[in-house]
Amino acid sequence: MIQTEAPKSGPQGWMRPCGSLSDKKDSVGAIAPGVMRFGVLTEKGHAEVHERPLPEPGPEEALIRQEACNICTTDYQQWLGQREGRGYPIACGHECAGTVIKTGEKVRDLQCGDQVALAYITCGICEGCKRGIGCSNNEIGPRQQSHDGYRGIFGYADYAVRPARALVKIKRELSPGEAAFMEPLATVMKGLEKLRVKALETVVVIGAGTMGLLNAQAARAFGCRVIVSELLDNKIALARSLGFEVIDGKTAEPASEVMRLTDKAGADAVIVAVAAAQANQQALDMAKHLDGRILYFAAGYPAPEIKIDSNIIHYRRLELIGTFGAELPHFYAAADMLNQDRVKVSQLLEGSRYPLEKIQDAFAEAARPGKYRVSVLLN
């Protein structure tokens, strides 16, 4: 374990004490220790636990006892050495949820004991934030480097101080691992907004991994007919158990199967939720002949190609749409989807959970092909 000097934070002494929580059913009970312990990628293939002093929350911040952080593709691809652009050491992890245990005195809409999930940490004052097009402030969020040398936002930390505006309430009926799906689901809400799905449209989702099945469930919640295409048997089985029409890409050619299922009409919209050149090609072939829309949801390393000439885009009036990330309204929309059980995520979590001490094993598990989300339990 590595100890570092206390991080700078808001003015000390501003926090509002929670009072006694012991009489509440969802009581936190615990008093935060003076240190926070967190998972760090120190180099390719190596995750370990470090600790540093735990700061007090500033007036507009809250202290969170973090309960779970799910391992995103972004994180395990860095662990695999495929996606190292963010550098090391990185206190990564961003799909996290926990319980509010202390609030700064200007925090109005969070109470101690609330379960919250973390949205993106933004400055709230730059041009991008004001216009709702993403924070461009490098001093904050995942691009920042802390004074003690870490990149990342300390997703795999047992305790963390967060800006209150980046915390969104999730009902207690959901486990912390389920609540942590707010972030990936927010990116889905952003993508569906860009794709402009409408009720009664036929949407094909290629890939029944975590992001594919989040997209599929959210599109269904919008009133679409959703067809899922997948190659792996365990993912086909899960997609079917969630009630979707599923094309088994091993036994049928997905594009012609979509044509058959839609009486040759094709899909109004296709969501490519797997990073593969073949999927990119299938999407072009299964979108309806005129005015089809295709959303590219996944990133792959090395980058998959799309081969299409611009005449085809022109004559078919195709829309090729990219998406990545989300803005604050998408996090609230995602929280609504979870809180209203419109999207169910319990089956998107792998059964094996890992305590923080076993974070290296958790990464190894997450990086195995065909896995759904692996959860690191932080408390």
Q: How far apart are CA 31 and CA 274, in angstroms?
A: 43
Please give the residues from 71 up to 100 whose contact with Zn ion meets the rule CB under 5 A.
72, 95
Binding of residue 122 to Zn ion (CB under 5 A) = yes
Q: In the complex with Zn ion, which residue's Cβ is closer, 135 or 160?
A: 135
Binding of residue 135 to Zn ion (CB under 5 A) = yes
For tokens 């090395």, the residue is 302
| Least Å from the CB of residue 73 to Zn ion | 7
List the one residue from 6, 80, 123, 308 that touches Zn ion (CB under 5 A). 123
Binding of residue 129 to Zn ion (CB under 5 A) = yes
Stretch that binds Zn ion, among 111-119, 123-131, 232-240, 286-294 (CB under 5 A): 123-131
Q: How many residues of this chain interact with Zn ion, rule: CB under 5 A?
A: 8
CB-based contact 267:203 (threshold 8 Å): yes
CB-based contact 371:347 (threshold 8 Å): no
List the one residue from 82, 137, 144, 256 that touches Zn ion (CB under 5 A). 137
Q: How far apart are CA 207 and CA 275, in angstroms?
A: 9
Q: How far apart are CA 340 and CA 350, in angstroms?
A: 22
Q: In the complex with Zn ion, which residue's Cβ is closer, 215 or 282?
A: 215
Stretch that binds Zn ion, among 57-65, 66-74, 145-153, 298-306 (CB under 5 A): 66-74
Binding of residue 379 to Zn ion (CB under 5 A) = no
Binding of residue 54 to Zn ion (CB under 5 A) = no
What angle (nearest 5°) sits at the alpha carbon of residue 189, between those of residues 227 and 165?
160
Stretch that binds Zn ion, among 19-27, 136-144, 213-221, 337-345 (CB under 5 A): 136-144
| Least Å from the CB of residue 187 to Zn ion | 7
Q: In the complex with Zn ion, which residue's Cβ is closer, 123 or 259?
A: 123
Binding of residue 180 to Zn ion (CB under 5 A) = no
Q: How far apart are CA 34 and CA 43, in angstroms?
A: 27
Measured over the CA atoms of residue 99, residue 104, residue 105 and residue 108, the dihedral's sign is: negative
| Least Å from the CB of residue 134 to Zn ion | 8
Binding site for Zn ion (CB under 5 A): 72, 95, 122-123, 126, 129, 135, 137
